[in-house]
Amino acid sequence: MSTAPPRNSEASSSSAGPRSSEAPIIRLQSVDKVYRASHGHAHALYAVDLAIERGEVFGIIGRSGAGKSTLLRILNLLEQPTSGTVLIDGQDITRLGSKDLRYLRQKMGFVFQQFNLLRSKTVYENVRLPLRVAGDMTVQAQHARVLEVLDLVGLAKHAHNYPRELSGGQQQRVGIARALANHPSVLLCDEPTSALDTETTRSILSLLRDINQRLNLTIILITHAMDVIRATADRVAVIDYGRIVESGAIVDVFLKPQHPTTQALLAEASFEAGSHPPTSWQQRGRGRVLRLTYRGTVVATPLLTSLAEELGQQFAILEGSVGRIGAMPYGDLIIGTQEADEQQLRRLLDALVRRGVDYEVLS
Amino acid sequence: MDAFSSVHPSLWADLIAFDYWPEIGQGTLDTVVMTVVSLVLTVIVGLPLGVVLFLTGGSQRSDKPLLARAQSVIHAVLSLLVNVLRSVPFLILLILLMPATRELIGTSLGVAGSIPPLVVATSPFFARLIENLLREVEAGVFEVCRSLGATTRQTVLWALLPESVAGILGAITVTTIALIGYSAMSGVIGGGGLGDLAVRYGYQRFNTPVMVITVVILVVLVQLIQIIGDRVVTRLSHR
């Protein structure tokens, strides 16, 4: 199941010794990509550093042309980086010979935006293709594996259909089954839901999430849609003009977006947290307006009620959302207080700190 | 048919009594044999040639500079060869190839003698058709094969050719029809078949009925091939 070492004893000796499960499965170090064109250069990636942990779903988000596709394609060397190293299981894949590189790619599934199924072949033959390419299974074993992955994606009944007979969502399921067939250690997904409608997107994303959980498979997913990241990823990196401008656990990025691009992407997704301009509440009598963000167990406590009882103050909820991002419960509220002097405000803020709630005084 | 025979009551009787049916039968058989054998050889030569032209062409070159250089040289040489052979008129090619044909199979006449020039004439044509077809294959197909770690051989045999199978059959249909036309032309230098018949009887001896009948048979043959070809293409097309 492991990507490395390929059938090359020299290459593997450099990364000998037991690896801790903490070691990232993929690590990029100062990766640059420059496209040389007849009229000057196009710098697609600048000094990208990235570490992707084993078993996580890692999202890469950015606008079109930000370099996210290039970044993904560098991970299995469909694109060669201009400089920098790409370590997979501790091994620098930019130094692999063509045979080892083919073997590496056989062990990394790739899911395409446009599915890229062979139209002349049945679903069954499409999914069997990677096994034929790898060529290390008997025909019976291939048959069993094809049926197994088709079952996993819920398409066992359609094995003998041709791609054009399937809906877009079903075609993408075939694409995913094909990517999974040869027991990859990593699944690379290039905008897997961009060609699909909302409902189908949801089902494909939950399939990916399910695969991640069941097979403990590392998934790297690029998208331009925050909703996709929110539904699927554990961590996210935001890429803008070839640079990673922000990265972290998705709860952090969603609740406390630092970079303007992240904020803009969140706003476009019309996702409540972090998307509203706080200025809209600034002229409101002599009361104060605060933004509270919190997560984890505190979400399940009667936060405002307990504050009201403790401080003898009352609060209005002006705006906000409460819910979950991935498995993490979160709250993001904008509240208004009654007329409050400095001392009352101080007591409120202290009470918030004690409860582990982040705040921002908006007015 | 009744109206037809009432106008020319003697036409069917004339046709039945026509003296040249044995020659026409033999000529038709010869044409079919020439066409089929030449077609098989054309595909055997032209298909790989087309694949090589495609693989060494711009879009598919290696990202290793040295290899890419070698590919572009191969492409230029093959491309020139193909263009030269395609620009020589078939009649001239027939005559130019007579010594080589005699060397190769002992005669430059008859059915056997016609086959080498036919193959030389249609293989470059077929190869270009294949090259163009492969260029039409979606970029996604190559992406998939690369991402699966497929070798070039696997990519060609398991993805490229199957994806263009309908187009290849279309190209075979077009080539077959071109071959029938060329084979008739080879009659001018004694190549055998319906063309030979038309030239010897129809042209040199002013036997118009033989001329008309051979032309009708050629038209029917071409029509049949086109219809069958179109049907097969439709059946195999999964778009």
Q: Is B159 an interface residue toward A (CB < 8 Å)?
A: yes
DSSP letters for A127-183: HHHHHHHH--S-HHHHHHHHHHHHHHTT-GGGTTS-GGGS-HHHHHHHHHHHHHHT-
3-state secondary structure B79-146: HHHHHHHHHCCHHHHHHHHHHHHHHHHCCCCHHHHHHHHHHHHHHHHHHHHHHHHHHHCCHHHHHHHH
> Nearest-CA distance from B168 to chain A in Å?
13
Q: Minimal Cα distance from B141: which residue of A?
A: A116
In angstroms, the CA A313 to CA A167 distance is 57
Would you say A164 and A120 are in contact if contact means Cβ atoms under 8 Å apart?
no
> Nearest-CA distance from B150 to chain A in Å?
6
Best B134, B136, B146, B147 member to test A by mutation, with max A CBs in 10 Å, is: B147
Q: Minimal Cα distance from A101: which residue of B?
A: B149
**pLDDT in the model for residue A285:** 65
> Nearest-CA distance from A291 to chain B in Å?
47
In angstroms, the CA A303 to CA A317 distance is 12
Q: What's the mean per-residue pLDDT of chain A?
A: 86
Q: Minimal Cα distance from B163: which residue of A?
A: A120
Question: What's the pTM value of the predicted model, to 2 decimals?
Answer: 0.81
Inter-chain residue contact A105 with B146, CB threshold 8 Å = yes
The Cα angle at residue B160 between residues B144 and A143, in degrees rounded to 5: 65
Q: How many CB pairs under 8 A join A and B?
A: 65
Locus of tokens 């691009």:
A261
**Helix/strand/coil for A220:** strand
> Nearest-CA distance from A316 to chain B in Å?
55
- Whether ipTM > 0.85 holds is no
Confidence check: pLDDT of B65 > 90: no
The pLDDT confidence band at residue B131, using thresholds 50, 70 and 90, is: very high
**pLDDT in the model for residue B210:** 84
Q: Minimal Cα distance from B62: which residue of A?
A: A98
Note which residues in 65-124 of chain B have CB less than 8 A from chain A.
none
Would you say B147 and A76 are in contact if contact means Cβ atoms under 8 Å apart?
yes
Q: How far is CA A220 from the centre of its chain?
A: 6
Confidence check: pLDDT of B17 > 90: no
Confidence check: pLDDT of B130 > 60: yes
pLDDT, tens digit, 9 for 90 and up, residues A183-223: 999 999 999 999 899 899 999 999 999 999 999 999 999 99
pLDDT, tens digit, 9 for 90 and up, residues A282-336: 555 677 888 888 888 888 889 888 888 888 888 888 888 888 887 788 888 888 8
- Residue B160: count other Cβ atoms within 10 Å of its Cβ: 23
Note which residues in 24-53 of chain B have CB less than 8 A from chain A.
none
Q: Minimal Cα distance from A117: which residue of B?
A: B141
CB < 8 Å to A133, chain B: 145, 148-151, 154, 158
Confidence check: pLDDT of B43 > 90: yes
pLDDT, tens digit, 9 for 90 and up, residues B112-122: 888 999 999 99
**pLDDT in the model for residue A41:** 81
In angstroms, the first-to-last Cα distance of chain A is 56
Inter-chain residue contact B162 with A102, CB threshold 8 Å = no
pLDDT, tens digit, 9 for 90 and up, residues B183-198: 888 877 777 788 888 8
The pair of structure tokens assigned to B182 is 């060329």
In angstroms, the CA A5 to CA A17 distance is 12
Considering CB atoms only, which of A76, A114, A118 is closest to B147? A76
Inter-chain residue contact A164 with B162, CB threshold 8 Å = no
Is the Cα dihedral B140, B145, B147, B148 positive or negative?
A: positive
Residues ≥6 apart with Cβ < 8 Å to B105: B112, B113, B115, B116
Q: Minimal Cα distance from B149: which residue of A?
A: A102
Would you say A337 and A266 are in contact if contact means Cβ atoms under 8 Å apart?
no
CB < 8 Å to B146, chain A: 78, 105
Q: Is A193 an interface residue toward B (CB < 8 Å)?
A: no
In angstroms, the first-to-last Cα distance of chain B is 43
Inter-chain residue contact A103 with B149, CB threshold 8 Å = yes
Average pLDDT over residues B9-24: 75
CB < 8 Å to A118, chain B: 141, 144, 159, 162-163
Class of B22-237 per CATH?
Answer: mainly alpha
Confidence check: pLDDT of B89 > 80: yes
Which parts of chain A have pLDDT scores under 50? 1-20, 272-275
**pLDDT in the model for residue B126:** 97
CB < 8 Å to A102, chain B: 149-151
CB < 8 Å to B232, chain A: none
Structural domain spans, chain B: 22-237
Q: Minimal Cα distance from B237: which residue of A?
A: A120
Considering CB atoms only, which of A103, A110, A119 is closest to B238? A119
Note which residues in 180-199 of chain B have CB less than 8 A from chain A.
none
Percent above pLDDT 70 for chain A = 89
Inter-chain residue contact B149 with A118, CB threshold 8 Å = no
CA dihedral A125, A127, A131, A132 (to 10 degrees): 20
**pLDDT in the model for residue B207:** 82
**B208-236 and B165-185 helices, crossing angle to 10°:** 170
Inter-chain residue contact A80 with B63, CB threshold 8 Å = yes
Inter-chain residue contact A116 with B140, CB threshold 8 Å = yes
Would you say A75 and A188 are in contact if contact means Cβ atoms under 8 Å apart?
yes
> Nearest-CA distance from B39 to chain A in Å?
24
A201 phi/psi in degrees, rounded to 5: -55, -45
Q: Is A106 an interface residue toward B (CB < 8 Å)?
A: yes
**pLDDT in the model for residue B24:** 87
**pLDDT in the model for residue A276:** 52
Q: Is B153 an interface residue toward A (CB < 8 Å)?
A: no
Inter-chain residue contact A133 with B63, CB threshold 8 Å = no
Percent above pLDDT 90 for chain B = 51
Q: Is B234 an interface residue toward A (CB < 8 Å)?
A: no
Q: Is A120 an interface residue toward B (CB < 8 Å)?
A: yes
Q: Higher confidence at residue A363 or residue B208?
A: B208
B169 phi/psi in degrees, rounded to 5: -65, -35
- Among A117, A110, A219, A126, smallest CA distance to B147 is for A110
CB < 8 Å to A163, chain B: 238
